[in-house]
Structure 1
Amino acid sequence: ATQHQMRMDGALDYLKENAPDIEIVGPFENRDKAESAYSLVQDMYTANPDLEMVYVTAGGPYGAAKAIQDLGLTGKVGVVGFDHTPENMAYLKTGEMVGLLDQAPFQQAFDSSVMLFNHLVAGTEVPELIEADGNLITPADVAK
C-alpha cells in the first residue's frame, strides 16, 4: 500500500539523516496481519538478539507487541505502530508498545467530505495532498 511505503520511506530517510548509527533490520512485509507481525518479530529477534525497536507501518502492530511480550522482552524492545485500537492500546498500557501514531481519522473523514461537497457544489479545487494532523501517544499519555 502506498501509505505504508511512504511511512517506511519517511522513517528510513529521517533515521538516515538524524541517527545514521542506527542499524536497520528489514524491511519485512506483514500484509496488515498481526499473525505475520508476530512471526516476523520472533524471527527478527532470533537473528538479531540486540534488537531494540520494531516499527510497524501496516496493520497488526499488536502482533509484534505480543511477540515482544511472549519473548519476555517488555522494557527491552519496544514497538511503534499506528492506530489507537483497543488491541494496540492494551500493549501500550503494558509497555510492549512504546508509541502509537494516530492518523487523525476524524480529520481525514470530515475534511475530505467537506472538500468533496465543496468541489461538487461550488467547483472548488481539491489539493493533491492533504497532510493529516496526527499525534503520538506513549505509555505516559495512557497513564494520564
Structure 2
Amino acid sequence: MDKGYEKERFESLSIKRSVVKKFRKYSKSISKSNSMTLLLMVEFFERNELSPEDDLKPGLMETENRIKKRINAVIAIIKNIEKNQTKPTLAMLQSLFMNVEPKPKILIEKSFEELERERINKEFKLKLQERNEFQFKKDNRDLNNGEKTPN
C-alpha cells in the first residue's frame, strides 16, 4: 500500500490500452505502485516547471557545451600557471637545494699548431709571472738592506 495514501479511495481514468501497458511496465521498472508512479511524474513536472511536450535535449546540449567550454578555460588557466609559475619556481628550488652538476665543456677540435701556440703562451705567462715574483723579492731585499736600522 502507498504510505500516506492508505485511506484514500481509488478513482478510475480512461486510458488507451497501449498507454496503460507501457505505463504499467514503467511503473514495475521503478518498483512503485501505479498511483505512486503517476504522482512522482506529476510532481517532477511541477517541481521543474516542465511540460511533457518540452524537448530537453537542446537545453541540455547547450548546458553541456557551456560546461565543456568552462572546463577547457580552467584547464588553460592551470596550464598557464604551471608553465609560468610552478615549473620556474620548482627549478629555482631544485637548484638551491641540490648539487647542480656543471654543464660539460664542449670539446672543440683544434689543430696541432693551435695547441702548440696555446702551450707556448701558457709557458710564457708562467715564466713571466715567475720573473716578476723574483724581481719583486729582489727589490724587497734591496729596499730592506738599504735601510739603516737605528740602535
TM range (shorter): under 0.3
Q: Larger C-alpha radius of gyration, 1 or 2?
A: 2
More strand by share: 1
More helix by share: 2
Q: Please, what TM-score do these two structures have when normalized by structure 2?
A: 0.23
Q: Please, what TM-score do these two structures have when normalized by structure 1?
A: 0.24
Query: Which is bigger in relative contact order (C-alpha 8 A, separation at least 6)?
Result: 1
